[in-house]
Structure 1
Amino acid sequence: MNYLKLTQYVYLLFAAYFIYDGVTKLIDPQTGTPWLSFIIAALAIFMFFFRRKYAKKFEDRNNNSK
């Protein structure tokens, strides 16, 4: 169960990578459009907070049942 707490931070790593990718594409316009990278980064940040919220709910539910 401990690995579920760690997997939410993987979303932050993905977000950091896609923000970096978007910035590099923004600086060099020949590499493509950066907007898809920024959208994926925003989605990854949303998923981080979503998973964090539900992991906390799940943990609180387990603590109340004992």
Structure 2
Amino acid sequence: MAGAFIPAALTMVRRGTSRLFPVIRLAAADLARNARHVAGRIAVVLMSTAFAVTVIVVAAAESERDRVEYRP
């Protein structure tokens, strides 16, 4: 599913950049032109970010639980 969504999303991003700075327009055009090659890399970055956020949330929850259960 993500394989079909990401190239379509990159194409939509390219269409919405007409009023932005030229550098951003060029980057968006390059991403849209190479959408099939970039889609896998974007999926990896999204999964890595989700994993990092999960680790941080679990660590914060365990830390808070330890703080509440602490008995001096």
**Greater fraction helix:** 1
- The structure that has the greater radius of gyration is 2
Select the structure with the greater relative contact order (CA < 8 A; seq sep ≥ 6). Answer: 1
